[in-house]
Every structure is written in C-alpha cells, then in structure tokens.
Amino acid sequence: MFARWGRVVYRFRWATLVVSALLLGLSVVAILTGATLAGNGGFGADLAAGKAAKLITDEIKLQGTTTGSSFELIYSSDSLNASDQAYQAALENSVASLGFDSRVTGIRTPYNVPAAQQSAFISRNAHEALVVVELKDSSVKAQKYIDQVVSEVHTGPLSFVATGQVPINVAFNKSLESDLNRAELVALPITGLLLILIFASLVAALLPLGVGVLAIVGGVGGTLFLAHFTDVSQYAINVVTLIGLGVAIDYSLFVVNRFRDELAAGATREDAIATSMSTAGRAITFSGITVAIGLSAMLFYQGTFLASMGAAGAIVVGIAVFYGLTFLPAVLSILGGRVDWPRWLRQLLGASKPAGTGAWHTMALWVMRRPLVVLVPSLVVLLAAGTPFLQLRLANGDVDQLPPDNTARQGYDTLIRDFPGQDQTFITAVVYYPASNPLTADHIGDTYDLSRRLALLPNVLRVEGFVNVDPTLTKADYQRLYTGSSTSLPAPLQQALSTSTGSHLAVLNLVTNKQYTSDDARAIVKAVRAEQVTGGQVLSTGGTAFDLDIVNFILDRTPTAVGSVILVTYIVLFLLTGSVVLPLKAVVTNLFSIAASFGAMVWIFQQGHLSQQLGFTAQSIDPSIPVILFSIVFGMSMDYEVLLISRIQEEYKRSGDNQAAVAMGLEKSGRLITGAALIMVAVFMAFGLASVVIIKAIGIGLAIAIAVDATIVRILIVPSIMRLLGRANWWAPRPLAWLHRRVGAGEPVPATPAMARS
C-alpha cells in the first residue's frame, strides 16, 4: 500500500505540491481568523468546587460586584513614611491622571478608604502603600490596554510597581510569547547545523526544516481553529510548536535518508520513492499513530485544559505525517540526486562505511555478547533516576510560575509579604438546601452551629458569614432576627444577608493564613466537606477547593488514561510487527524512560536543584505537567521504537537471523535515531530556556527523556533484551499471526538495489 502510494506521489508530484500548498493556505487563514486562546482558570466548572461556585453565582447578587477587573499599584519610599503629608501628596499626584481615564471606574488609596480598611493599604514598615485601580472591563479586555493605563501614572519621589490580576495575566502572555520566540531562534539554527552534519548536504538538511515549519504553521492554525469550538489553553501554542518541530524533523530525517540510500544503491527516482514510502513512510505513519495515541491520554481529562492540548498535539502530529507522506516525497521526486548537493560536503564530512563495519553495528554486537551484564545495570540506573518521583507533590501553579525577576510577580510577592492580611486564604463553605430556604429557624441554627465548629478547625483564624456579624448575638438572637421582617434589621445584618444568602444556600468564609495550595489549607477543605447539616449539604469552593479537586480529578483518571494508551499502543505495535512480545518489550522499556524523566522533574523543579542556574522558584509540580510529559514522552519514545524495530524487522525478514538483524538494524538506524534524538534534545532544551515554569519543566523533562531513550534504552537495553529473547521476539499465537497476515499491516520487504547490496 505504501509503495503504491509512493508511485502515485511520484507520478503526480506537482499536483501533490499544489495540495500541500492549499493546506498551507488554509493553515494561514486559520491563524489569521483563529479564536483567542483561553487562560487556564476557566476550566474545572464540572468539579465539585466549580459546581459550588456556580450555585453562589446563580443565587447571590453580591453588592458592588461588576463585570470589571482591577489591578494594584504598590508605592514605596526609603525615606518617607506613608503617614507623611509629602508621601500622601506624591501618591495622589501620581494617580491623579487616572481619574480622567474613562476606562478607570475607581481608585482606592490609603487616604480615601474607610478608616477601618486603612491598615490593609499600608505596609507593616509604613514605607509602602497600596492603591487599587478598578477597571470597567473584564480582565481579558483590560489586558489590551493595561500598559497604556499604567503609563499614565506619574513617577515622582515614590517608586511603584503594578501587579494584580490584569498585569499578572499580561505577564504570562508576554512571557509565553517571548519563550516561544526565543525557543524558535535557538532551536532552528542548531537544528539546521545538526542536520547538515547528519546529512552532509545542504539541500537534504533544508528539507526537514521546511517540513518542520509547515507542520508548525498547520498545527498553530489547527489549534486556533479548534479554539472556535472549545476552550484551548494559552500553553497550547508552545506545546504544538515543540511537538511539531520535533516530530516533523524526525520523520523527514528518516524519509530523506532512505531515499538517498536507495538512489546511492542504483534505484530510479520512482523506485526510490516507492521503497522509501514502503519502509520509512510506513514507519512514520505508525510512529505518528503511536505519538497521537500517547497524546490522546490528555483527552481523558475533559473539563481541564489538558484535553485541548491533547487535541492540539494530535493535530500537529497528523499534519507532520501528512507532509511527510505528500510534500516531502513530491519534492524528493523533483530533486532526485540533487538532494545530495553539494557533494563535496559529503566527502568532507566522511563517506558511508560498508555495511557491517559501522560503529553502531560493532556496538550492537558488543552488547549482545554480554546482554545481562549490560541490561541489569542499565535498568538499575533508570530505576534509581526515577526514585525522586516517589516524593511527588502536586499543586496548581500560581504566580510563582513566572520568573523571580518578573515585575508583576515581584509586586505580588511584595503585596503578600509586606501588607497585613494579604497573605490570608479564604475557603468558602456553602450550606446548600436543595428543597428549602436557608432562613428558617432550624436552618439558621444549624448554620450557626456549623460556623462555630468550623471556627475551631486547626489554622482557621475566623469565620465570616451572616451568623457571625455581631459576637454579642446568640443563636436564638439570629434565629429571631432573621425569621422576622428583613426591613427592620440593622444595616450590618441586612448587608450580611444580601451578600451571603440565597434562596437555597448560605455562604460562610473561613479565613486562614496558610498558603492556598498547602496541606493545611487542603485539610480545612476536607473538614468542611465532611460536615453535615439536616436537610442540606455542605459544599466548598475557592482556590484551595479547586486546587484539591483538580489534583484528585487528575489522579482519579490517570490509571484509565495510562492503561488505555498502553493497550491501544500495544495493538498498533502488534499490527506493525506481527509479534506479541515486541510490543510488551516496547511498553516496559518506555516506562523506564518515563520514570527517569519524572524523577529528574521532581529532583529539579520540586526539590529545587539547579533552581539558581535555571532561574525559577522551587515549587510543587503543577498537576498538568506529569500528564503532559507522559503523553508526549510515551508517544515520542514509541516513535524511536517504531523506527528502530521497523528496520530490524526488515533485516530479519531478509536474513531470518535475529542477532544479525538487530545488529544491522541498529547500524542502519542507530546513527539516524541518535541524530534525530540530538535534534529533539536541542529543540526541547530551547524550550527549557523558557521563563514560565510549566514550559521550562516540559522542555527539560522531554529533553532528559529523549536523551535517555535514545542512548540507554535504544543502544543498550533494546539489543540486550532482543538478544536474550532470540526468535521469541517475533512470536505470536497462531490465530493472531493469521489475523496479522489478513490485516496486511506488515508489508513484504521490497527487493530494492539497496537491500540487495546490504
């Protein structure tokens, strides 16, 4: 089938290029008309915390709430005190121009807020002051003009920094964009140089780069088009670029190399294209399927941004395979022998050695002469590298995902550190009565008792709610007052009712000084949810509740996601090889690569090793990172497995000698796999230079995984295991062997000049 496809592409090469150009045009249109990518905070509506938050939104109209947003200005002076007249005059003069901006709806300073709130606007050392600027638009709209608004603030004797919701969101967007640009600027030149060294040809080196760029354009276009129909993470473009560049270059490398081998062996252009497609083309198709299967693990996490990233990754892999089977062979059909230009470069960098004499052939034979001596230490090293993963702690990423030198983050850190009350976490308890009103005497009493129990929980500073307004009032007082006429209530009680009760629920806010992703804060949420009231439910929402629910959501679905991906991958590898042993070997060795990369991730990013050198703050691992890493690493490792095993299988079918097939297959593909892995590592490490921790962690984690997979696993472990298994490598029960022949996934090896020569 693939050989026939190669001949079709050769005969209609110009028409194939036109089809590729049309896809490129559609990709550009999709980019220009694509929807805006979402942040990651809009996901999780189906979680318990999300449902509780929706109940509050639906039933309670909080006074003073708007659809707008806000940001903070933090002023400071080394010499002046916030209580000084000069400080006040300088601050008010600095923000005066904001009062004339129609986009600004309010400005709160230490000097215009009620006296009871003033302490929250002045730092503990009294040299810093907080200003809250309220904007009429939502955060998404305000991000477009926040820089203009901040630029209207006059500088003077006081220095200031802008932080808060809108500036931090802008900082993330700008950082992600600059990370992407930096990665491309670093990765493309290094990749080009490595391709020249691998191919010893300028033309051959440019082809994978061209396919990589086409795949990225197509992947970005597909991602932005997908954003019209579902929320797509703001991280998706970075991940699409990372995956697209890697797999496109990987696949092109194998197709171009096989085409050159066939031409060098005396095949015609048409035969060379047909053979390249029936071997390398078939391999990259199965490889693309396995990578897409790995990425599909993220689709099991519906309701989070991971699902959109899995879909976006599958899109770019599909486009990379499409160009590898259409655009690339069409261009090769036109170039023919000119793909080796300039030929003197090949001579300069060294000509190919005769078959059976290469370093990879020698290495494979050396390993297979002592398989256990090589295998056992290799597995021990990978297991030892993975042990830090046992100490994994998951928590949602926050502002500390930004680098420590980011201005918006520095302002946030100052706010939390220096201003009283800003380090407090609010955990919301929702007392929900589906079939009744919360303001009956019994329900008021139950809520009163609940609030007192919650106030006794460890690390709870206080509880705020409609039964906590006046400490002199008893439970009976609240029952009497709230079951009477609301118009006769004192103003504070009326305010409390309007902001914390609805037709079926009442809200209590628990205040703690524990960080919102801490175990102490999570314990409070668990304690709230363990409470019971007669005729109702006790729910919880807020940042800590979302953090806990997202972590549990991912942990609950991970066994199913991992198991499904492994099962489907096993089936695809069986269809490729016709063996039930090789897929099992592939899955097990793949898990060792993943374990090593996960251990490195925890060692670096959670435990903080290399944090100074890499410029980040040690922190718990965002729950999305292990999922993304598993999905990509599993797929990419299977990529190399498919490319290596395909070549070994080809040699085995020709010779029937397992040991010789492993040695020759490793010789013919080992250099390419190592070169492709080196390119991948360069691409991923370029993303490891990112300033946003989640992108940095993914880039470095992938680079480590690919380096381990292409060296320890492919060079040492795979030949050792295949030597120990012998002919059992290719075994399948008779019914499955019959099924494999019927399906026809294993194509016969073409008798090409290249094979006759080898």
Cα dist from 677 to 277, 306, 556, whole Å: 22, 26, 33
255 three-state secondary structure: helix
Query: For residue 333, which amino acid is it?
Result: S
Query: For residue 37, which amino acid is it?
Result: L
Structure tokens at 670: 């080992």
Q: Does residue 757 have a pLDDT over 50?
A: no
Q: Would you place residue 280 in the very low, low, confident or very high pLDDT band (cuts 50, 70, 90)?
A: confident
Q: How many Cα atoms within 13 Å fall on the side-chain side of residue 279?
A: 31
Q: What is the pLDDT of residues 97-154, one digit of tens each?
A: 999 999 999 999 999 999 888 999 999 999 999 999 999 998 889 999 999 999 999 9
152 three-state secondary structure: coil
Q: Does residue 748 have a pLDDT over 70?
A: no
Long-range own/partner contacts, residues 456-461 (CB < 8 A, 24 or more apart): 457/510, 457/524, 457/527, 458/520, 458/523, 458/524, 459/512, 459/513, 459/514, 459/520, 459/521, 459/523, 459/524, 460/510, 460/511, 460/512, 460/524, 461/424, 461/511, 461/512, 461/513
Q: Would you place residue 347 in the very low, low, confident or very high pLDDT band (cuts 50, 70, 90)?
A: low
Only one residue has tokens 């491309």, namely: 184
144-158, 348-362, 460-474, 604-618: range with lowest mean pLDDT:
348-362
| pLDDT score of 627 | 92
| pLDDT score of 151 | 95
68-169 to CATH, choices 1.10.1760, 3.30.70, 1.20.120, 3.50.50: 3.30.70
Q: Does residue 684 have a pLDDT over 80?
A: yes
Q: Where are the beta strands (DSSP E) in 204-259?
A: none
Give the closest residue to 507 by CA, choosing from 439, 423, 424, 425: 439
Q: Would you place residue 346 in the very low, low, confident or very high pLDDT band (cuts 50, 70, 90)?
A: low
DSSP-derived secondary structure letter, 341 = -
What CATH number does the domain located at 424-547 have? 3.30.70
Distance CA 452, CA 371 (A): 67
Distance CA 615, CA 607 (A): 14
264-273, 285-294, 482-491: range with lowest mean pLDDT:
482-491
Q: What is the pLDDT of residues 282-299, one digit of tens each?
A: 888 988 888 889 888 998
| pLDDT score of 666 | 82
Is the CATH code 1.20.1640.10 the one for domain 1-33+200-345?
A: yes
Phi, psi of 405 (to 5 degrees): -90, 5
Question: Where does residue 472 fall: left (phi above 0), alpha (psi -120 to 50 degrees), or beta otherwise?
Answer: alpha
Q: Does residue 755 have a pLDDT over 60?
A: no
| pLDDT score of 42 | 52
Helix 543-577 to helix 581-601 angle (10° resolution) is 150
Q: In residues, how long is the chain?
A: 758
Q: Looking only at Cα atoms, what is the longest distance across the chain?
A: 100
| pLDDT score of 758 | 34
| pLDDT score of 157 | 92
| pLDDT score of 745 | 54
Query: For residue 117, which amino acid is it?
Result: Q
Q: Strands 537-541 and 505-512, how do they pair? A: unpaired
Question: Where does residue 686 fall: left (phi above 0), alpha (psi -120 to 50 degrees), or beta otherwise?
Answer: alpha
Q: What is the pLDDT of residues 635-661, one digit of tens each?
A: 888 877 877 888 888 888 888 888 888
Higher pLDDT, 677 or 485: 677
Structure tokens at 85: 């007249």
How high does pLDDT run on average in the chain? Answer: 88
| pLDDT score of 88 | 95
Structure tokens at 357: 């004499």
Give the closest residue to 692 by CA, choosing from 270, 485, 401, 432: 401
10-19, 250-259, 551-560: range with lowest mean pLDDT:
250-259
Burial class (CB in 10 A: 0-12, 13-18, 19+), 353: exposed
User: Which pTM was predicted?
Assistant: 0.85
DSSP state letters, 85-149: HHHHHHHHHHHGGGGG-TTEEEEE-TTTS-GGGGGGGB-TTSSEEEEEEEESS-HHHHTTTHHHH
Q: Does residue 81 have a pLDDT over 90?
A: yes
What CATH number does the domain located at 359-388+578-737 have? 1.20.1640.10
Q: Where are the beta strands (DSSP E) in 479-606?
A: 505-512, 537-541
304-308, 536-540, 626-630: range with lowest mean pLDDT:
304-308
Give the closest residue to 199 by CA, choosing from 368, 343, 39, 11: 343
Distance CA 550, CA 74 (A): 32
| pLDDT score of 750 | 47
Q: Does residue 751 have a pLDDT over 70?
A: no
Q: Would you place residue 38 in the very low, low, confident or very high pLDDT band (cuts 50, 70, 90)?
A: low
Structure tokens at 443: 């329900």
H or E segment and range at residue 567 = helix 543-577
Q: Does residue 65 have a pLDDT over 50?
A: no
Q: Does residue 756 have a pLDDT over 60?
A: no
| pLDDT score of 754 | 41
Q: Does residue 63 have a pLDDT over 50?
A: no
Share of the chain above pLDDT 90, in %: 54
CA 461 to chain centre: 36
Higher pLDDT, 458 or 349: 458
Mean pLDDT of 597-606: 95
| pLDDT score of 344 | 65
Residues of the chain with CATH 3.30.70: 68-169, 424-547
Residues of the chain with CATH 1.20.1640.10: 1-33+200-345, 359-388+578-737
| pLDDT score of 340 | 82
Q: Dihedral, CA atoms, 294, 298, 299, 301, nearest 10 degrees?
A: 150
Higher pLDDT, 628 or 340: 628
Q: Dihedral, CA atoms, 111, 116, 119, 120, nearest 10 degrees?
A: -90
Q: Would you place residue 350 in the very low, low, confident or very high pLDDT band (cuts 50, 70, 90)?
A: low
Query: For residue 381, which amino acid is it?
Result: V
| pLDDT score of 752 | 43
Q: Does residue 753 have a pLDDT over 50?
A: no
H or E segment and range at residue 186 = helix 165-199
Higher pLDDT, 199 or 54: 54
Mean pLDDT of 369-376: 91
Mean pLDDT of 53-77: 80
Q: Strands 69-76 and 128-135, how do they pair? A: antiparallel
Strand-pairing partners, residue 233, are: 38
332-336, 423-427, 515-519, 710-714: range with lowest mean pLDDT:
710-714
| pLDDT score of 318 | 93
Instruction: Say how many C-beta atoms besides its own lie within 10 A of residue 89's C-beta.
Output: 13
